[in-house]
Amino acid sequence: MQIKVTNIYVDDQEKALSFYTNVLGMAKKADFGNAGYRWLTVSFADDPNGVELQLAADTNPVGKAYQQGLYSQGQPAVMFLTSDIKAEHARITGKGGKFKMDPTDVTGSTIAQIEDGCGNLIQITQLKW
């Protein structure tokens, strides 16, 4: 088995789509709706058949509480791996991304956290091993 789709809750799907595609460099994978519901996913442009990230509207009270709880505790909603965190930091900053934590060495990795502008912290990690 494998993970095909995972989700994060966002307070504005259009704003989230813009951030994840224009700032992080992901590509829109699926976008359709029915009766006010919108299924919106993105994936990394260099792996179009890889894992999809659903940008789910936080209209569900449980989802919204989960999203706000993670954010208030400084916990990332999702973590992405990179082989060059300094280059990603420079690229994302150049596209207007706002980092809450610049690249920081921790045990076994270097991490950075960026706000997606839709209620989430995103962690970027470069493993040292």
> What is the distance of C-alpha 79 from the center of its chain?
7
- When pLDDT is cut at 50, 70 and 90, the band that residue 123 belongs to is very high
pLDDT band at 27 (very low <50, low <70, confident <90, very high): very high
Q: Show the domain range for 98.
A: 5-127
Taking the C-alpha atoms of residue 89 and residue 74, their distance in angstroms, rounded to an integer, is 19
Q: How many domains does the chain have?
A: 1
Q: Where are the alpha helices (DSSP H) in 41-114?
A: 61-72, 85-94
> Percent of the chain, pLDDT > 90?
93
Q: Which residue has the higher pLDDT, 129 or 90?
A: 90
Task: Say which CATH number the domain at 55 has.
Answer: 3.10.180.10
pLDDT at 45: 87
57-101: per-residue pLDDT in tens?
A: 999 899 999 999 999 999 999 999 999 999 999 999 999 999 999
